[in-house]
Amino acid sequence: MTTRIPDLRRLRHFIAVADAGSFTAAATSLHLSQQALSSSVQQLEKELGAALFTRVGRRVAPTRAGKLLLDEGRTLLAAARTVAQHVERTAAGAEEIYVVGHTPALGGAEVYEIMEPAIEAFAETSFTFRQLYPDQLVDGVLDGTVQLGLRRGVVPTNVLSTAVVSYHRVRLAVPAGHRLAERGMVDIEDLAGERLALWAPPGSSYYSDFLLSACRRAGFEPDYVVSRVQGSATVAAPLTTGAIAFVTTPAGPAMGGRVTVVDLEPELLVGVQALWQRHTSSAVRDAIVAGS
């Protein structure tokens, strides 16, 4: 039995209906007649040999097969757009620019260290680092404006391909003059009763959840505050919060001596997860993933 490959135009029509929950609304957004849209989806169902929608009152909802196609179809369309863009740029002789997106928890120097093998190996390629918040990072990878995403922690996803490409040691950034600033090493248990600075609330950031879980494993419920200055270096958080921040910068004085970074025991390592579009290939990406 030969497996039929779905037509990308019909796949786009199916996704529009699934998102709108209505053939009428989707037809309007696509500037098609409802009859033409219905016929397109029916042809897709015939190609795949599966019913894709079930009617729920006046609306439609994806069947089990439809839900699978919706998830896989989005990534397939995104990959198709990326391939088309690459072909167009190559045909036009445009300079290749590889965009790396990273969350604020990763500093520019850390991103450079991760990307350095590819930067050295592909001398004809220009690289751009772009700081993005986690939801923007995923959207950027999905729509192809970001070729590779980097974020703290390891977050399960069935939408993008992922790999852990680095591990960084977690340390503490302490306000100068704090009782823990004079120590060369701080046990995580000593943070009980201290206020901790986070970059995002628990539940909205895997990295925040990871850090708070480490505290709970040490036997205490952490007190925390979310930094009101977003996008700056994590080591600056003690200056605006008065709290202790988890950082991955080297131990020693920072921020002109107003902050001291000290080692944390027991050793705590946090992974850096790379994200990219499924169904795509990249020699630059391969160089990073292979070296991890």
pLDDT digits (tens, 9 = 90+) for 239-251: 999 999 999 999 9
Across all residues in the chain, what is the average pLDDT?
Answer: 90
Single-letter code of the amino acid located at 208: S
Instruction: Give the number of other Cβ atoms within 10 Å of residue 14's Cβ.
Output: 26
Token pair in block for residue 71: 């998830």
Q: Which stretches within the chain are classed as H helix?
A: 8-20, 23-30, 34-48, 64-91, 108-121, 134-143, 206-217, 237-241, 283-290
pLDDT confidence of residue 226: 93
pLDDT confidence of residue 93: 66
Do the beta carbons of residue 234 and residue 240 sit within 8 Å?
no
Phi, psi of 176 (to 5 degrees): -55, 135
Query: pLDDT class for 53, splitting at 50, 70, 90?
Result: very high
pLDDT above 90 (res 28): yes
Full strand arrangement of the beta sheet holding 148-152: 126-131, 97-102, 148-152, 269-276, 161-169
pLDDT above 80 (res 95): no
pLDDT above 80 (res 123): yes
Q: Which range (30-34, 120-124, 132-136, 149-153) has the least confidence?
A: 132-136
pLDDT confidence of residue 231: 78
pTM of the model: 0.76
Query: pLDDT class for 94, splitting at 50, 70, 90?
Result: low
Q: Is 201 helix (H, G, I), strand (E, B) or coil?
A: coil
CA distance 57 to 54: 10
Higher pLDDT, 58 or 148: 148
Single-letter code of the amino acid located at 159: V
Single-letter code of the amino acid located at 35: Q
pLDDT above 60 (res 1): no
